[in-house]
Amino acid sequence: MPEPAQLRRWRADTPGTAHRNHLNNAGAALMPTTVLDAIAEHLELEATTGGYEAADAKSTEIEHGYEHLAELVGARARNMAVVANATAGFVQAVSSFDFAPGDVIVTTRCDYTSNQIQYLALHERLGVEVVHAEDLPEGGVDPDSVRHAVASSGPRCKLVAVSWIPTNSGLVQDVESVGQVCEDLGVPYLVDACQAVGQIPIDVAKLRCDYLSATARKFLRGPRGIGFMFASDRALARGDHPLFVDMRGARWISTGRYEVDPTARRYEGWELPYALVLGQSAAAEYALGVGIDVAHERAWTLAARLRTGLAAIPRVRVLDRGARQCAIVTTAIDGMDARTLVTHLAGKGINTVPSLREYGQYDFAAKNVESAIRYSPHYYNTEAEVDAAIAETAYFLGN
Ligand SMILES: Cc1ncc(COP(=O)(O)O)c(C=O)c1O
């Protein structure tokens, strides 16, 4: 339990808490004031001194940002790249591999929606085979099934990609065990940590991943429209680089040659929104100040309280599976489109979002769900906010 003074400070740092009961941190969390200030100050500087000149003036702070991001995942600054969002980082990593027809990507049934669409596009356009490893009985990918899928594909398996936490449930996949499999079998490994960053301590050495992609706006509490990725020394040494590398990621050294940047910045684009870059850096610094372990413990405790309270309401079915469940709580309502409840809660100042069948075709089909409501508390929420969401849900459903 945090000291009441600590919770009061987090909330005082977060102007949005005065206006909304924000249980949509898996969508976009409320930003702390330091993040807002970093963005606003830089926009002001750009407006008054010029965009390029402002970036020059803030070059030290911009560099520090890479160190903060590196600390978040247990890496070094040279392994970090700033990208537009988690999907952009994921795609940059995937584009490092020159897939040929018959090559295999092994992934999970709970991988993120956009990733699944991209696997399908790779199948349709390049003839890549996409293998979805089996789930464990309790939910989440079975690392032994990944081992079997990779081993039986032999050298055709070019990549294993896993979403740590999917968008549409509280599941936490066992990314460390999958990392062990990938290392044993010598296959590159990409982790989508979009929903993990800010709510789970991350150590890329334990994940043994080649790449990791993340976004600023979710449990990290940064701004929308910016994200980051990690590329391992192993990937950099292999010469991996994105298919559409630009003049930030590489130098055009003679008419017929380019040379990629030695660091992970080979994955960046030349043009960056520096106000957001600084906002993301401030969010990382703030999260490190709070302590990811502290944020983790409290957010997961609030989510467990929410799950228990919601499960006790007639017609409500909690959908979260897996051995460990995170700060995302999803429920289906018997006989009701979840969007109706989301709209009602919004009218009461409680922020949640709906999750639809198309966000998780495998998962929601197995659960026989067309729509769900997603509540996602964070450490700065209060027990009273969680209880209010439970009470309002119960009231709306006629209890
Ligand atoms: C698991 C997961 N991966 C990736 C993304 C995509 O993130 P972004 O919108 O920053 O590209 C999301 C967004 O909800 C997500 O939940």
Give the tokens for residue 359: 């966000």
Whether the pLDDT of residue 55 is over 90: the answer is yes
CATH assignment of 35-289, given 3.30.110.60, 3.40.50.720, 3.30.230.80, 3.40.640.10?
3.40.640.10
Q: Which residue's CA is the closest to the ligand 1 atom numbered 16?
A: 167
Out of 115, 194, 199, 200, mutate this one to test ligand 1's pocket (max ligand atoms within 8 Å of CB): namely: 194
How many residues comprise the chain?
A: 399
pLDDT in tens, 101-149: 999 999 999 999 999 999 999 999 999 999 999 999 999 999 999 999 9
Query: Which ligand 1 atom is nearest residue 166's CA?
Result: 1
- Mean pLDDT within 360-367: 95
Residues of the chain with CATH 3.40.640.10: 35-289
Residue among 212, 156, 213, 207 nearest 181 (CA): 207
Give the tokens for residue 253: 């050294």
> Quick one: pLDDT at residue 399?
87
Out of 163, 215, 217, 221, mutate this one to test ligand 1's pocket (max ligand atoms within 8 Å of CB): namely: 215
Q: How far apart (Å, rounded) are the C-alpha atoms in residues 82 and 88?
A: 10
Q: How far apart (Å, rounded) are the C-alpha atoms in residues 11 and 19?
A: 11
Query: Which ligand 1 atom is nearest residue 111's CA?
Result: 1
Listed in sequence order, the residues at least 6 apart from 336 whose beta carbon sits closer than 8 Å to its beta carbon are: 315, 397
Band the pLDDT of 2: cuts 50, 70, 90. Answer: low
> Quick one: pLDDT at residue 1?
61
Percent of the chain as helix, strand, coil, to the nearest 5: 45, 20, 35
Residue among 36, 42, 35, 31 nearest 274 (CA): 42
Residues of the chain with CATH 3.90.1150.10: 4-23+291-396
Q: Which residues line ligand 1 (CB under 6 A)?
A: 85-87, 112, 114, 163, 165-167, 192, 194-195, 215, 227
Q: Are 262 and 236 in contact (CB under 8 A)?
A: yes
> Quick one: pLDDT at residue 349?
98
- The DSSP-derived string for 340-366 is HHHHHHHHTTEE-EEEEGGG-HHHHHH
- Mean pLDDT within 194-223: 98
Q: How far is the CA of 212 from the centre of ligand 1 (A)?
A: 12
Residue among 228, 199, 223, 299 nearest 34 (CA): 223
Q: Are 159 and 178 in contact (CB under 8 A)?
A: no
Domain at 4-23+291-396, CATH class: alpha beta
Query: Which ligand 1 atom is nearest residue 85's CA?
Result: 10
Q: How far apart (Å, rounded) are the C-alpha atoms in residues 351 and 256?
A: 54
Residue among 328, 354, 300, 362 nearest 141 (CA): 362
> Quick one: pLDDT at residue 307?
98
Out of 90, 114, 118, 326, mutate this one to test ligand 1's pocket (max ligand atoms within 8 Å of CB): namely: 114
